[in-house]
Copies of this chain bind each other. A is one copy, B any other.
Amino acid sequence: MTKWVYGFGGGEADGAASMKALLGGKGANLAEMSSLGLPVPPGFTITTEVCTFFYANERQYPGELAAEVDAALARIEAEVGMRFGDPTKPLLCSVRSGAPLSMPGMMDTVLNLGLNDRTVLGLAEAARDERFAYDSYRRFIQMYGDVVMGIDHYLFEEALEEAKAEVGCRFDNELDALALKKLVENYKATVRRETGQPFPEDPKEQLWGAIGAVFSSWHVPRAVTYRRLHDIPAAMGTAVNVQAMVFGNMGDDCATGVAFTRNPSTGEKTVYGEFLVNAQGEDVVAGIRTPQPLSRAMAENGSGDPEAAMETVQPHSYGELVEVFDKLEAHYREMQDIEFTIQQGKLYVLQTRTGKRTAPAALKIAVDMAAEGLITEDEAILRVDPSSLDQLLHPTLDPAADAEVVAKGLPASPGAASGKIVFFADDALKATQAGEDVILVRIETSPDDIHGMHAAKGILTSRGGMTSHAAVVARGMGKACICGIGELLISYADRTVTVRGRTLREGDWLTIDGGAGVVMLGQVPTVDPELSGDFATLMTWADKKRRLKVRTNAETPLDANTAVGFGAEGIGLCRTEHMFFQDDRILAMREMILSQDADGRKKALAKIAPFQRDDFVELFEIMKGLPVTIRLLDPPLHEFLPHGAAEDEAVAAATGVDVKLVRRRVAELREANPMLGLRGCRLGILYPEIYEMQARAIFEAALVVFEKSGETVTPEVMIPLVCSAKELAIIKKRIDAVAAAVTAERGQELHYEIGTMIELPRAALRAKEIAEHAQFFSFGTNDLTQMTLGLSRDDAGSFLDTYLAEEIFASDPFRSLDQYGVGELVEIATMRGREGRPGIKLGICGEHGGDPASIDFCHRQGLDYVSCSPYRVPIARLAAAQAALRNA
């Protein structure tokens, strides 16, 4: 029989950390901590299988659930010696969601559950604090009313403001017991008015209401959005954790806080976190009161007042916390993110989970932990998300730049970003879709702002600390973020922000440095990052483990140099057409296209030839003997022709032909579906002189470099868009003839290879015969994806979002390889290519070459290399190492 409920507490537990899929991350770790003997309030977890059952059965629960919940509740009561609904010693509970993968801030929580008009008296009695009891009660009604009963929380806040106005105080904690009692009555009246129902008095009814709300919240839009952004399947479901309440708001010997076992921004091994004295947990995360740092060191480092640090004000509890840190890291062998509460001087751990961290922190923690012997080098390699390296490699602010600093705040998430000010998430999204860079400026952020945060280049908030919603989410996204900049006066109504006497408007440019917590006016120039020693260390470890070579897609000297700096082992794709668009060449290219015959084309091509040769000389010199794969002309010719009447005339004048001819040629070359038209090797078949010119330029360049440096260059000439062996055979013969001619003219031996792109489904299917003429294959997975799915990258935008939302596509197939469709063609081509030519060299040069999941696929297929854009080279190196370890 299925067990639906798992209990924990009192040094034991039904579950364990390994059961995350069933118990959710929070529940599994509560069970684990309980077994470890850490101070965890007792409780139980309702499994994710109940969530699945719930959605599969029209929101009904399994029949056995109620009895199991009752039994688990009885275990809590026994452990704490209090009873649920008992008017004298009432047990109060928290109800929290807990999905298998962490979803910060996405799911709803209810605290102080079990309070009603009778138990509140018992609580007051037990705590000997009536004010505390009624404050807990009003918080409970407010949370429950909002989360479970769906009442606009604005209504409760209004009542609270009225209550404060009535007694003339400013902060919630200045309200006395009488005022709070009255507020509770107001709240209850609000509930009755809004729902037509009284607030539920029965603690059991409250409990089931909260459980239902957690399960229901699994499908609210913001949860769906978060899952989509993080590739979390909806089928996973959430668990529900019910736990005995402990109180951080019973007095000044109480506190609540969140902490990381290492610094999640930098990775340094220091106590990191915040707390609030006499507060409930939600106060810290919500960012309403700005919390204090834990350690004096952290405070001195710019995060607050050392005299208010936990180390100063609650030194004993601080000591206990540091001990918990050590136990947790030793046990989990990972940096932990914990929530704790101190009730009357006693520390309780309410949650632990793997801490989110910035890319630099992930890198440092992985390398440090390996150095500390906590984990192995292999584990360190697997600990760093390759995609996150992107953040380390991109430019940072130029320290020499003349920047006017207008504000400082908490350095919540590092990185430099420039953008125009926007105040609303929707505006951030719209502006970004229109191609603009924006900085999202908010008093504070909430889960409803996720889409705007994702769209923005950076985020500023005037309230909230280092673990506020904005900070946590921004770090997860790798966005620059500065929090708690109290000096910002934000007016949503006027769409202005005033700081140090200066008023900035929506659309004004700002630059922010999330690592320094500094806000600057305007657009500040950037410089390339200096990579830390940890980076080099991890890369060295990775390079030892990987089998896949990593090349780059580059045609400019800048890109080639950058890629070599990042460790590229060759060029996997040099797109020659990019070389034709430069001012001094486009004219000759147009002359070629406008020519009436092969002779005319040859004359025009002769003008381009020296440029091509020089380009290749430069590339070969940079690559110093590393392999260079050069793709011959690929795009349709109309891409080189003008697009308007005025331009037509300019081209006619410049090339000396009649404008009518220009227009006729533009019209002739127009295509209904250029992606499926006269391009790739079809151009080479129709106009042999184009590829002949390119081949000659490549071969001559190879000999020039050999003469200059003595370095033998073995260019790999790549033919695009092949669909049959015959095409390749025809073109190969012509290129071989060019090579023979160049050899004869120069009297020098020439080394080269001829291969092809596999980018049409037919090429994948006919790979065996094609391989007989090809020394290498390079999978052009961009086009292969377009053809296999019948999906134009340029046009998919109109429905791709819907396809992702409806989960028709698990991820954007142009970002991560569609392994079950396109992937099978790659597999077929790999197998058949090897049949046709044992040991044929195989690589991939689509966008997917820099995507970790796709790299894992390439490793499993046994490809020889991946090729990606220069900045993704380190990502590919790490991903290739992870693939090797994962599939060992």
Contact = CB atoms under 8 A, between A and B. Distances in A.
A673 B723 contact: no
Given A765-B825, A787-B788, A799 B682 contact: yes
Interface in A41-69: none
A799 B760 CA distance: 17
Nearest to A795: B677
Contacts of A803: 682, 685
Contact of A674 (B672, B761, B787): B672
A83 interface: no
Given A727-B808, A808-B726, A678 B760 contact: no
Contact of A723 (B726, B790, B792): B790
B765 A824 contact: yes
A768 to B, nearest CB: 11
A790 B671 contact: no
Interface in A719-750: 721, 723-724, 726-727, 730
Nearest to A677: B795
A456 B796 CA distance: 43
A786 interface: yes
B671 A792 contact: yes
A675 interface: yes
Interface in A785-810: 786-792, 794-796, 798-799, 802-803, 806-809
Interface in A759-793: 759-762, 765-766, 783, 786-792
Given A685-B803, A792-B673, A806-B730, A798 B761 contact: no
Nearest to A786: B676
A672 to B, nearest CB: 4
A824 B672 CA distance: 27
A821 interface: yes
Q: How large is the interface on A (under 10, 10 to 19, 20 to 34, 35 or more residues)?
A: 35 or more
A795 B671 contact: yes
A802 B677 CA distance: 14
A726 B789 CA distance: 14
Given A818-B762, A820-B766, A791 B676 contact: yes
A330 interface: no
A790 B676 CA distance: 5
A286 to B, nearest CB: 36
A455 interface: no
B760 A686 contact: no
A5 interface: no
Contact of A821 (B723, B730, B798, B820): B723
A736 to B, nearest CB: 17
Contacts of A798: 677-678, 686
A272 to B, nearest CB: 43
Given A676-B790, A808-B726, A799 B686 contact: yes
Nearest to A672: B794
A704 to B, nearest CB: 34
Contacts of A359: none
Contacts of A672: 674-675, 792, 794-795
A538 interface: no
A147 interface: no
B783 A790 contact: yes
A789 B808 contact: no
A766 B822 CA distance: 11
Contacts of A730: 806, 808
29 contacts: A671-B792, A672-B674, A672-B794, A673-B674, A673-B675, A675-B676, A675-B790, A676-B790, A677-B795, A677-B796, A677-B798, A678-B795, A682-B799, A686-B798, A721-B790, A723-B821, A724-B821, A727-B808, A730-B806, A760-B788, A760-B789, A760-B790, A761-B787, A761-B788, A762-B822, A765-B788, A765-B820, A765-B824, A787-B788
Given A676-B795, A761-B825, 5 more contacts: A673-B674, A675-B676, A675-B792, A761-B761, A762-B822
User: What are the 4 tightest A-B residue pairs by CB atom distance, in nearest-first order?
Assistant: A676-B792, A677-B795, A762-B821, A673-B792
Interface of A: 671-678, 682, 685-686, 721, 723-724, 726-727, 730, 759-762, 765-766, 783, 786-792, 794-796, 798-799, 802-803, 806-809, 818, 820-822, 824-825
